Amino acid sequence: MKNILFYGSGSISSSIIEGLLKCGYKKKNIFAYTRNISTRNKLKKLKINSISKKDLLNNGHKIDIYVLGVKPKDYKKAVIEILNINQAPNLVSLCAGIKTKNIAALSDKLKVVRVMPNTSCSSLNGISGIFNHNFSKTNYVYIKNLFKKLGEVIELEHEASLNDITALFGSGPAYFFYILKVYEKRINKLVNNEKLSKKIMQRLLQGISESVNNDKTLDDLIDEVSSKKGTTEAAIKELKRLHFLKNFDAGIKAALIRAKEISEN
């Protein structure tokens, strides 16, 4: 089992760490470096080794894989800091929009693979796009299999496709959370109990998930719930009148455009 250091431990990195622990990755093989105090406290609860800059300088040779989990604007500084610790690191970049060639240009000894996961990795239901710049075959397979334990992995031949992964799946959970705000508001009026409200939404989503996991099309599933001149039909007609699907798709397109803009900067 390889030693992994998460350099920058935001929400995505934390989700990956939680998922790794659930699928049996040893705590002793996971390390994290972060300046964020609240993240440190979270890692402490997970009993993950949160290490200092001094520890890194003294023990960098023990790290097999570095996971770059900083904000895109901070990637150059972070990579240079990593190179000061290890001259030829294997680097997994989680930085949205930052091309692997730009990272690899910082050192000819740097090996880079880019992964775009989402926060559902924490529950082993993640979706991750992966693009290999110059990892060795052995290390690439290791990283690919690692993320397969956290959910589904989509291997990509073209790095530009990671923008679609970011817009569809990286941002995707937030789209559904946003829609659930309508449910939350109406359920709270019924039960007036926040804990019960969340439990009800969870049941609803679990039921939907199980329904999707069969051979029926989405239209078939809609028809099963709908009845002629019933409540579901009335709701669907109104959503169509408001061009709900078109507007929802416009939101995804906006995310894709932004991902491309970040990538081109």
Query: CB of 95 within 8 A of CB of 68?
Result: yes
Q: Which residue has the higher pLDDT, 110 or 97?
A: 110
pLDDT by residue (tens digit) across 58-83?
766 689 999 999 988 899 999 999 99
- Give residue 135's pLDDT: 96
Q: What CATH number matches the domain at 4-159, 3.40.640.10, 3.40.50.2300, 3.20.20.70, 3.40.50.720?
A: 3.40.50.720
Q: Where are the domains of the chain?
A: 4-159, 172-264
Mean pLDDT along residues 159-165? 93
- Give residue 103's pLDDT: 95
Question: pTM (2 decimals)?
Answer: 0.84
Query: Residue 36 corresponds to which amino acid?
Result: N
Query: CB of 203 within 8 A of CB of 196?
Result: no
Mean pLDDT along residues 10-24? 91
**Residue recorded with tokens 């040893």:** 26
> d(Cα 253, Cα 249) in Å, to the nearest integer?
6
Angle at 48 between CA 85 and CA 137, to 5 degrees: 55
Distances (CA, A) of 57 to 53, 63, 82, 244: 6, 11, 9, 53
Q: What CATH number matches the domain at 172-264, 1.10.940.10, 3.40.190.10, 1.10.3730.10, 3.20.20.100?
A: 1.10.3730.10
pLDDT by residue (tens digit) across 19-58?
999 999 999 999 988 877 777 777 777 888 778 777 777 7
Per residue, what are the HEC states of the chain? Answer: CCCEEEECCCHHHHHHHHHHHHCCCCHHHEEEECCCHHHHHHHHHCCCEECCHHHHHHHHHHCCEEEECCCHHHHHHHHHHHHHHCCCCEEEECCCCCCHHHHHCCCCCCEEEEEECCHHHHHCCEEEEEEECCCCHHHHHHHHHHHHCCEEEEECCCHHHHHHHHHHHHCHHHHHHHHHHHHHHHHHHHHCCHHHHHHHHHHHHHHHHHHHCCCCCHHHHHHHHCCCCCHHHHHHHHHHHCCHHHHHHHHHHHHHHHHHHHHHC
Residue 106 scores a pLDDT above 80: yes
pLDDT by residue (tens digit) across 199-253?
999 999 989 988 888 888 999 999 999 888 899 999 999 999 999 999 999 999 9
pLDDT by residue (tens digit) across 163-182?
999 899 988 889 999 999 99
